[in-house]
Structure 1
């Protein structure tokens, strides 16, 4: 019975961690994104949700609570900046964005939404749970939830037209404020 409880706890934790990616993915999905790009974004976010807790397991002993707080603040500021850039982009029609979910922008996005899994990785090593299973579930749930959010955002983009990027930017900015406060 204890094993079932542990598996359920891990699945709930994986879902909770994936909800960050889902929330931010809704905003990103409101940009014009092709299905191939959605697939790649989901995979990269999932991989980051595997690697970050894995790194957290090994580096956890070396980091203090202060460093974790700085990382969370940086994550919130970055989300606000991306959201502001999307809102600004709505009013100033340019061909390129400051940070799009491609290349370095995609890596920054994936890193930002997976920062919380880093701190979870630190605590996984101390708790003695099935670490490999937990980390794989983090990646799976984050990938699936990111795909789902991006597809919802993509559909909403077509329904809202020009205002979808404004709405997406507002969601990202609000989520950044939520992380900060």
Structure 2
């Protein structure tokens, strides 16, 4: 198994970890752990598969899929870096974001980068399905860790950690408006 897929999976899971951290500051029962980890992991599994399908279709029209995939990855990396430098105003949770439509929106928002990365999956060694599975499992683990560390941070940082988590959510939202 190639270390490259684990590096990609880790990078794609940072958004899910950050959101889980922010949510975990306030919502950290076993149900919250399960809901976030399951949905984030599931979406991180399916989005690369969809991207890989798109990538295979693009390959039929161009034998330069590696250039297309690289440009998409550079674009995602640039946006991730650019977003990490931004400062936005705070937004706090009013109701439990791990239920209903809010959870689906968070799941889609944290996995949109994985759609673009999926276009590059046909270029990697191994099965596309296995690679997407690794991305999903790593995201699931990172989401569990995010809720855990978010719940523990409240003891040390109080409401500050929750505000930082909310700030991350706003930043992710802005990223998808900019892209």
Is the structural similarity TM-score above 0.5?
A: yes
Matched residues, number = 159
Does structure 1 residue 49 correspond to structure 2 residue 55?
A: no
Asked whether the 8 Å contact 2:91–2:167 carries over to 1, the reply is no
Residue 35 of structure 1: aligned partner: 30
Residue 153 of structure 2: aligned partner: 156
> Which of 110, 115, 124 is residue 112 of structure 2 equivalent to?
115
Shift in Å, 1:137 = 0.3
CA-to-aligned-CA distance 1:79-134 (integer Å, 9 cap, x gap): x99x7331xx6xxxxxx43x722211111111111111111111213556421221
Residue 64 of structure 2: aligned partner: none
Q: Which segment is superposed worse, 106-115 or 19-28?
A: 19-28
CA-to-aligned-CA distance 1:61-87 (integer Å, 9 cap, x gap): 47x99xx98xxx9xx7xxx99x7331x
Does structure 1 residue 18 correspond to structure 2 residue 24?
A: no
TM-score w.r.t. the length of structure 1 is: 0.70
CA-to-aligned-CA distance 1:50-70 (integer Å, 9 cap, x gap): 1111111223447x99xx98x
Point out where structure 1 has 5 or more consecutive residues left out of the alignment.
Answer: 1-5, 90-95
Structure 2 CA distance for aligned equivalents of residues 127 and 161 of structure 1: 43
Aligned pairs for 1:128-167 within 5 A? 129-167=126-164
Name the Cα RMSD after superposition: 3.6
Point out where structure 2 has 5 or more consecutive residues left out of the alignment.
Answer: 59-67
TM-score w.r.t. the length of structure 2 is: 0.70
Structure 1 CA distance for aligned equivalents of residues 146 and 102 of structure 2: 18
